[in-house]
Amino acid sequence: MRSSRWVHLWALLCGAAGFAPGSQGGLGGFVFTENEELVYNVRYAFFNLGQIRIKTYGSSMLDGHPVSFTRALIDSYSGVPFVDLHAVFESMIDHGMFSRRFMGKIKQDDTWDFSRYDFEYDRERVIVEMGAKDTVITSRDTVRLAGPCQDGMSLYFFARDGLLSGKTVTIPTMIKEKLSNTTIAFGRGRSSVEIDAFDYPIDVVEFDGTLDFVGIFGLTGYFEGWFSNDEARIPIKAKMKVILGSVTIELMEYKRAGWMPPRAAE
């Protein structure tokens, strides 16, 4: 299945060997907030390419484990040359901050191709199914696992939860139906960023990292992220390396009860 260009840019940014799930501080109650909705603009140089809209729904139990339901909607802007992309990514994320189930759908012409990951940790494996037209399964595969794993959506919340840990972590992640690794170095410290959506500098915590593979558009190597310096740890801005330079991803809208981006000290 052809993976979404932008959800993987952002998901790979957002993040375990030597880093037990849930050990980051147990802040799932803060990063998983029902009805949270965050909208990001994706920009290359001066060109706006599209949006990523990330939503958090309710929580429930899955096979005896507490999970939260999350969804990313990815759409290119109308009129962008050579780009017509529409995708939906859904994840059931364990409150220990790893993936339980994942579904990704991408519109190809007038049909939707999909991939599903069912993580069976008791059997040390993930079952991968791929197909077309929403329901027609065309292939199945099994990937061996050594422990808890992330998908593109769960990485986003994993990184929010681990932002203040100060650790450098290597994160096993299912991306493009393969098991890969992303290294994130939490602990670059506190700073401020300015983005178009707000008229004041935002108090943030920085981190960076590297990718150990080459993805779509030559996505590889070094990346940076800036998340809000508060309990919510909202991703504010990201930069990632691609073939022709770098892509910038910025928060442009949000819905989260009682939250405002923290103002940086003057």
In this prediction, residue 244 carries a pLDDT of: 67
Q: What CATH number corresponds to the domain at position 138? A: 2.40.360
Q: Do the domain assignments include residue 103?
A: yes
In this prediction, residue 232 carries a pLDDT of: 94
φ, ψ of residue 35 to 5 degrees: the values are 70, 15
In this prediction, residue 195 carries a pLDDT of: 97
Longest dimension (CA), the chain: 57
Q: Within the chain, where are the H helices?
A: 5-13, 28-31, 152-162
In this prediction, residue 2 carries a pLDDT of: 41
The total of structural domains in the chain comes to 1
Q: Are the C-beta atoms of residues 224 and 238 closer than 8 Å to each other?
A: yes
In this prediction, residue 214 carries a pLDDT of: 61
Listed in sequence order, the residues at least 6 apart from 196 whose beta carbon sits closer than 8 Å to its beta carbon are: 41, 250, 252
Amino acid at 25: G
The pTM score is: 0.86
Task: Give the span between the Cα atoms of 175 and 10, in whole angstroms.
Answer: 12
Q: Do the domain assignments include residue 239?
A: yes
φ, ψ of residue 28 to 5 degrees: the values are -55, -30
Q: Residue 196: which of 236, 146, 147 has the closest Cα?
A: 236
Give me 107's structure tokens: 């519109």
In this prediction, residue 218 carries a pLDDT of: 54
In this prediction, residue 205 carries a pLDDT of: 97
pLDDT along the chain (266 residues), means of 10: 44 36 42 93 89 93 94 90 84 95 86 92 96 85 94 89 93 86 90 96 94 60 91 94 82 95 92
Its domain, for residue 170, covers 5-255
In this prediction, residue 143 carries a pLDDT of: 95
Q: Do the domain assignments include residue 173?
A: yes
**DSSP H or E stretch at residue 12:** helix 5-13
Kindly state the DSSP code that residue 3 receives in the 8-state scheme: P
Q: Do the domain assignments include residue 163?
A: yes
Whole-number Cα distances in Å, 51 to 54, 73, 86: 10, 8, 10
Q: Do the domain assignments include residue 220?
A: yes
Q: Do the domain assignments include residue 74?
A: yes
